[in-house]
Amino acid sequence: MEQLRVLELYSGIGGMHQALQASGIPAEVVVAIDVNTVANEVYKHNFPTTSLWSKTIEGISLKEFDRLSFDMILMSPPCQPFTRIGRHGDTSDPRTRSFLYILDILPRLTKLPKYVLLENVKGFETSTARDELIQTLGKCGFTHQEFLLSPTCLGIPNSRLRYFLIARLQSEPFAFHALDKILTVFPSLEPNASETSRDATRLEESGSPVPTKEASSSSKDNRQQCRQKENILFKLETAEELERKQQKDNDVSVRMLKDFLQEDGEGLSQYFLPPKSLLRYAFLLDIVTPACRRSTCFTKGYGHYIEGTGSVLQTAEDVQVQWPS
């Protein structure tokens, strides 16, 4: 296979570039493009020899794109217009403008790329932006397949459901092609799978239970218990929720969190949750330990939000977690 020339849009810190290298496919990222200055500094550190353009995508002309003569596009457009906690602005959100510009440019390229790979949040699959993407790919002659996948599909102990699309400029379908369906299993593991459709199951996205009225009314009592027993954290969960988490921790097809943690733990103290937050909100937290085989998205919301911000890692082995009856 000859070396592919790759255009990396919304390059961030270079996650897609790293995945491309790990795939072993002969490829060169000819240009990476992002406007985030902090992300660009990290990208330069990770890939110092790659040409990095710090400019808006809309500011790049058709002629400039044509000069790059790329074979593949990697992109992860802004997810805020589609995320479940956002305003669902979709194509009316200004942050979608650059993506719509790409869709406008694509059919007008002198040479179409052979491949397109896109990643986004769950929610994108029901958006108008996604519909316009599919229409544009069809008009250009691409064959495509969509997925809703989580890292747990690959044995990684983190539930972070994401939308993926792969497309190629060939009329033949993929070996795992499921017409008008979004796959929710990794095709190399389940080659004949076609078990879900576009409106299919809402897969796990959060391990933080939504507090019931009973839980809310009991929070004061639980906080008092925490003060009385400083080495015990109390959690309120339904029996079904607890059983679901225990089943995940018993799934040996998924690795333990400790396989991905820094061994020395140096510098982690800056990320500790303050005791005040633990005492007040322990019953809401999705607490995991290094021996767990599950976690939910670790986010930047810590310190700003408690509920729905993902798992909290318990590193103190002497602290017990109890579920009040």
Q: Which residues pair with 121 in a beta bridge?
A: 162
Question: How many whole angstroms from its chain centre is CA 156?
Answer: 13
What single DSSP character describes residue 273? Answer: P
Instruction: Show the DSSP H helices in the chain as ranges.
Output: 15-23, 37-46, 62-68, 97-105, 128-140, 213-228, 239-249, 275-281
What single DSSP character describes residue 53? Answer: E
Task: Report the C-alpha gap between 282 and 218 in whole angstroms.
Answer: 12
Angle at 324 (CA atoms; ends 319, 325), nearest 5 degrees: 145
Q: Which residues pair with 232 in a beta bridge?
A: 320
Annotated catalytic residue 226: no
H or E element that contains 268: none
Nearest to 225, CA basis, from 313, 310, 325, 315: 325
pLDDT score, position 119: 97
Domain residue spans of the chain: 4-183, 213-322
Q: Cα-atom radius of gyration of the chain, to the nearest Å?
A: 22
Half-sphere exposure of 200 (CA within 13 A, CB side): 16
Q: Does domain 213-322 have CATH number 2.60.40?
A: no
Low-confidence ranges of the chain (pLDDT < 50): 189-231, 233
pTM above 0.85, yes or no: no
Question: How many whole angstroms from its chain centre is CA 309?
Answer: 14
Q: Does domain 4-183 have CATH number 3.40.50.360?
A: no
Burial of 314 (0-12, 13-18, 19+ CB in 10 A): middle
Tell me if domain 4-183 and domain 213-322 are identical in fold: no
Predicted confidence (pLDDT) per residue in 59-116, tens digit = 999 999 999 999 999 999 988 888 766 677 888 888 999 999 999 999 999 999 999 9
Catalytic-labelled residue, pool 79, 153, 292, 297: 79
Q: Which residues pair with 10 in a beta bridge?
A: none
CB-based contacts of 318, cutoff 8 Å, min separation 6: 231
Query: What is the number of H-type helices and E-type strands within the chain?
Result: 8, 12
Question: How many whole angstroms from its chain centre is CA 274?
Answer: 27
